[in-house]
Amino acid sequence: MAGRWKNELTWSDVTPKDTWMNRRQLLAGAGAMGLAMTAAGRGEAKINAKKTSYGKGLKPNKLGDITSYNNFYEFGTGKEDPAKYAGSLTTDPWTVKVDGMVDKPGNYALGDLISGMQMEERIYRFRCVEAWSMVVPWVGFELADLLKKVGVQGGAKYVAFETLERPEEMPGQRRGILNWPYREGLRLDEAMHPLTIMATGLYDEPLPNQCGAPIRLVVPWKYGFKSIKSIVRISLVDKEPYATWNKTNSREYGFYSNVNPTVDHPRWSQATERVIGGGLFSAREPTLMFNGYEAEVASFYKGMDLKKFF
């Protein structure tokens, strides 16, 4: 298996958090951050994060960009809705059910689940299917380490994920926009790749609610909707799992959902992208194959028809 992913940009290159945090973002994330820092399991994201190095040319977005422009339909379909409404979400205590083809199934308190994980700070490109992108400094750990901890049984081929369903705190779930709860999945080899992480923070702080607190998936070579937020269940299965957008509209959203500039969305081109934070009239940039991670992951899809398995 490939070693841990390494690049050359240091943490000192990240724009200081305090420079960008304004009153709106502070208020939007205050509930989640306050709870997180007082909970033993959540505190690990800041206290024990390893200062790793990162790739050249990846300049993180401002914190305000990252926390105010989100897709999180559980709180509404508008990009600003998550920041407006996610403060009501209770993230402590938090339990994640681990089941299926694992040696150690159970309902894990978040602190117990992530105990012993090597927390790292990583800057990743993040690309949305709507043709916008940003660069995010995540704090998290490799999903592979968690899967090793619970023990993957022979015959398991996929990892399935499920988001919290709590309509009393997630107003978007009171509408029939999607078939709740939100669900996603990865092939096991994708899940075990060193680039695939479980994020518990960003900018060296616990995740604000609108960004998927208290724990979310980040798969940087896939479109953002694959990186499921606020996870409450992880299952090891032997068949391709239900994926919400793929099942809702398979014509527009494939199961794999790899960033691919040669495969257009039926309603717009994926050849270029708008970088969030560059201004309303900023020039669009060419979309990179696999979001710039082609060297690391292209071998996974060798021989596959990427227009069929998109």
Mind listing the pLDDT tens digit of every residue in the chain (310 residues)? 444 444 444 444 444 444 334 433 433 333 333 333 333 344 444 445 776 664 567 889 999 999 999 999 999 999 999 999 999 999 999 999 999 999 999 999 999 999 999 999 999 999 999 999 999 999 999 999 999 999 999 999 999 999 999 999 999 999 999 999 999 999 999 999 999 999 999 988 999 999 999 999 999 999 999 999 999 999 999 999 999 999 999 999 999 999 999 999 999 999 999 999 887 677 899 999 999 999 999 999 999 999 999 9
76-123 pLDDT tens trace: 999 999 999 999 999 999 999 999 999 999 999 999 999 999 999 999
Give a yes or no: residue 192 inside a domain. Answer: yes
Sorted by sequence, the CB contacts under 8 Å of residue 244 that are 6+ apart come out as 178, 179, 182, 183, 184, 225
Per the domain annotation, does 306 fall within a domain?
Answer: no
Domain-located, residue 293: yes
Domain count of the fold of the chain = 1
3 assigned to some structural domain: no
Report helix, strand and coil shares of the chain as percent, to nearest 5: 30, 25, 45
Residue 284 inside a domain? The answer is yes
List the domain range (segments joined by +) for residue 117.
11-301
Q: Positive or negative CA dihedral for 140, 142, 187, 111?
A: negative
Residues 6+ apart with CB under 8 A from 101: 152, 153, 155, 156, 236, 237, 238
CATH of the domain at 136: 3.90.420.10
115, part of any domain: yes
Domain annotation covers residue 124 = yes
Residue 58's pLDDT is 87
What is the torsional sign of CA 121, 75, 72, 149? positive
Closest CA to 129 of 270, 301, 272: 270
